[in-house]
Amino acid sequence: MARENGRYVVLGSAVVANFGQFGARIAISPFVLAIAATFGRSKGEIGLVLTLMWAIYALFQFPSGVFADRHGERLVVLLALALATVGAVLVAWAPTFLAFALAAVVLGSGAGMYFPAGTALLDRRFDQTGQAFSFHSAGGPVAGLAVPVGASLVAARYDWRLGVLVGATAAAIGFLAIAFTMGSTPAASPDMRIRDRLIPTTAFDILSRPRVAFTTLLGVLGMYVFQAFVSFFPAFLQEYHGLSTEGSSFATGVAFVLIAAVLPLVGRAGDTVGRDIFLVVPFLVTAAGFATLLVPVGRPAIAAGVLLVGVGLTWGGVLQSRFMLEFADDERGTGFGLVRTTFVLLGSVGSAATGFLADAGGWPLAVGVIVALLVLAAALVGGNRLLGLGL
């Protein structure tokens, strides 16, 4: 019983930590248009900085997993949350566009170090990983509800810079949750030579496994969509549907609370019924949500679209569990960190592409690409099952 209670304490602390690192990043999203105006830049240029932040976030995933295997997950998690806190503070302080971009790099590096270590921490303690990973992932959507709304309320009274500090506070809370509730964690591979894990042949060996490669492709498509959502959903609602900053933050928050509520249900269903079906359904539901939001009929379309997007963006835990099945116990931190680096890095183009597509062809073009990629992802999973490819 003590062991059972202990692992749920770990899960709770990890959920709070994920809340913190995600909140530090999502605090920027409600202010994309305000930040662009402050620095005299376009949506595409702000999107490029956000893609840079996500690219750095991706690049730090692989070494994070390696260091977690070598030195223990708790140490890596604490360092990650400390960097995320500092990065968010620097974003709020940035006096120039260049300083803003550099601060986003610091924020991305800290947030990027968190997830592989946090996930490996849970993988060592739970057998039914889909549900545990989904609860862990749900910390992000909860932050997506609380942080943007709180940040918007602060910004409405002061300015966007103080709003961003709400995200820094969230990351600091995550740091404290881990520091005061979780003891040191033993390394999974204490005798491992780090340089052996970081060499290109190791990465190629892992990524060339057919099931890993196929799941990584799904991750790229899903991450493009998620990056576009996180970076530009409030701006889309403001410009295309005419919502205020507060209104768009509230709608985005509703989507996030739906993600948080449905994620564990989808994860459990994936564990018990089958993972692939609970990838296909969320992909198609999300596509339907974005397509609905392109219908310019006012509040009914917004409400229906936000509902579908929130319920649909819930494939994360199932995808993570699909990955973890492919890795041996002593390589899970390294392996998961590598695939996270790969699909987040490639999918991070979603922020820049969405901004530039919105500038060049309007929101229907930018959102239409999102819908097309989701349908493609669902078709790939369905085709794999129907053709018996075993991927």
The residue range of the domain holding 178 is: 2-387
Distance CA 314, CA 325 (A): 19
Local structure of residue 85 (DSSP, 8 states): H
DSSP 270-295: HHHT-TTHHHHHHHHHHHHHHHHHTS
Average pLDDT (167-192) is 79
Cα–Cα distances (Å) from 340 to 76, 169, 182, 240, 247, in that order, read 16, 26, 25, 32, 33
Local structure of residue 3 (DSSP, 8 states): H
Q: Find the radius of gyration of the CA atoms of the chain.
A: 20
Q: Report the candidate in 14, 99, 23, 113 with the shortest Cα–Cα distance to residue 63.
A: 113
Distance CA 262, CA 141 (A): 10
Give Dmax over CA atoms of the chain in angstroms: 61
Distance CA 281, CA 362 (A): 28
Q: Report the candidate in 56, 153, 192 with the shortest Cα–Cα distance to residue 114.
A: 56
pLDDT band of residue 175 (cuts 50, 70, 90) is very high
Angle between helices 245-272 and 129-157 (to 10 degrees): 180
> What's the pLDDT at 230?
82
Q: What digits encode the pLDDT tens for the residues 10-51?
A: 788 888 898 999 899 888 888 888 898 999 988 888 888 888
Q: Report the candidate in 49, 60, 59 with the shortest Cα–Cα distance to residue 94.
A: 49
Higher per-residue pLDDT: 219 or 73: 219
Local structure of residue 199 (DSSP, 8 states): S
Distance CA 153, CA 147 (A): 10
Over pLDDT 70: what percentage of the chain?
90
Distance CA 214, CA 208 (A): 9
> What's the pLDDT at 214?
94
Round the average pLDDT of the chain to a whole number and report it: 84
Residue 299 has pLDDT above 60, yes or no: yes
> What's the pLDDT at 1?
45
Residue carrying the six token digits 């509730």: 181
The pTM is what?
0.74
Say which CATH number the domain at 36 has. Answer: 1.20.1250.20
User: What is the sign, positive or negative, of the torsion defined by CA atoms of 84, 88, 89, 94?
Assistant: positive
Distance CA 380, CA 246 (A): 38
Residue carrying the six token digits 């999107």: 47
Written as six digits, the tokens of 247 are 């209104």
> What's the pLDDT at 340?
79
Residue 2 has pLDDT above 60, yes or no: no
Residue 237 has pLDDT above 50, yes or no: yes
Distance CA 187, CA 262 (A): 33
Residue 331 has pLDDT above 80, yes or no: no
Higher per-residue pLDDT: 331 or 379: 379
Distance CA 114, CA 174 (A): 11
Comparing 150-159, 367-376, 377-386, the range with the smallest average pLDDT is 150-159
Average pLDDT (275-284) is 91
Distance CA 356, CA 184 (A): 45
Q: What digits encode the pLDDT tens for the residues 304-319?
A: 999 999 999 998 878 8
Higher per-residue pLDDT: 133 or 114: 114
A 10 A CB-CB count for 156 gives 14
Residue 279 has pLDDT above 60, yes or no: yes
Distance CA 252, CA 146 (A): 10
Provide the domain count of the chain.
Answer: 1
Residue 83 amino acid letter: L
Q: Counting Cβ atoms within 10 Å, is residue 334 exposed (0-12), middle (13-18) or buried (19+)? A: buried
> What's the pLDDT at 330?
67
